[in-house]
Amino acid sequence: MPGAGCDLLRKLVLFYLFFMMFGMLVVPSLLARGCTVVPSKTWPPQVPLSINLYSHSSGTLLTLDLEDYVIGVVAAEMPALFHPEALKAQAIAARTYAVIRMRAFGGSGVECHPEADICDEPSHVQAWISESEAKARWGALAAARNWAKIEDAVRQTHGLIVTHRGLPIDPVYHSTCGGRTEDSEAVWQKALPYLRSVECLGCKDSPRMYSVVEMSLTEFASRLDEQASGIPVMARLEGRKVIEVLKSSASGRLIDLSVGGIRLKGTELRKLLGLDSTKIGWEVSADSIRFSVTGYGHGVGMCQYGADGMARQGYTAEQILAHYFTGTRVQSMFESR
């Protein structure tokens, strides 16, 4: 039956060609689809990223691995005795803070140091210390223990940042809010959707929760004289209320006030008098004034002692950051939007 044999041979050849075409065209596309990058617990990949740091202490420009830089920030900005989840939250915030300033990602860097992405001056950006500086600060034994703990927190959050609608936020933070954080516009006149005032129950045991500053009215007046347009403050105070509140925030911080008719921002008064925050009360006697201050820092964003308190209550780093930064999420910086 040669005809039947030919038909069978023809079918085998067609099947072989079909199989070859399937292998050449379809299988690769399926494999490619299966290799699509999907963020997971093992993501992001180990892609080295460098940041240029201007060190004020040495006067030099340092190029560091981003993750190594974050270790130095956490060591400088948060007590190493804090709960590991609080340290992780600080690491994620510190990394995000750096990323939005890095020139490689379109950031503006540091104006006074053109080649730098960031510096280590805490009054400008966020603080940073090297491992050798940590040893000098803590002692060799404590430094080895603390550095390893901080390094572990940073490595466990490798590449993670805080985002709002897919974009990195400006994750500002402070020591102690005093029971409630502040809206951004109350401090910097710019309302940001993720920097909203939230209740904080975690910082109630902070050693920086309360402070008292007392000074004579003469000293008080002398510190404000530069704001007085030539008329001594003591003369302005005669027969007037020493401090009059013009505007305060919902969290109880001073926004605008009048001192002997001189209009000031709460932030200006805090700076002039060296107070820990703008959440203040006062008592005036015949020749002195006593300030009672609650909290430490500007009060916007993440409360560090609050983060530690939340961590000790069982909250994760991601939950802590979601609480203090409204409407945000934690994601890999390599994850596409």
Same domain, 142 and 62: yes
Bridge partners, 303 (sequence order): 174
What is the crossing angle of helices 84-99 and 317-324, to 10°? 60
Classify 189 as helix, strand or coil.
coil
20 falls within a domain: no
AA identity, residue 300: V
Flag whether the pTM goes above 0.85. no
**Interval 26-66: pLDDT, tens:** 333 333 333 322 333 333 434 568 999 999 888 899 999 99
- For 109-164, write each residue's pLDDT tens digit: 888 788 899 998 888 889 999 999 999 999 989 999 999 999 999 999 999 999 99
- Cβ distance 224 to 272 under 8 Å? yes
Quick one: 214 and 80 in the same domain? no
Residues 189 and 70 in one domain: yes
Evaluate whether 280 touches 292 at the Cβ level (below 8 Å): yes
- Residues 153, 91 contacting (CB under 8 angstroms): yes
Amino acid 156 reads Q
Whether the link from the prior residue into 45 is cis, omega within 30° of 0, is no
Total count of residues recorded for the chain: 337
Q: What is d(CA 16, CA 210) in angstroms, rounded to the nearest whole number?
A: 82
Q: Is 158 helix (H, G, I), strand (E, B) or coil?
A: coil
The answer to the question of residue 40 being in a domain is no
> What residue numbers bound the domain in which 279 lies?
210-294
Q: Give the separation between CA 223 and CA 219, rounded to whole angstroms.
A: 6
Average pLDDT over residues 269-276: 93
**In this structure, are 278 and 166 located in the same domain?**
no
In-domain check, residue 3: no
Task: With respect to residue 317, please indicate whether it lies within any of the assigned structural domains.
Answer: yes
Burial of 206: CB neighbours in 10 Å, binned 0-12, 13-18, 19+: buried
Judge if 168 and 317 occupy the same domain.
Answer: yes
In a domain, 26, yes or no: no
Q: Are residues 193 and 265 in the same domain?
A: no
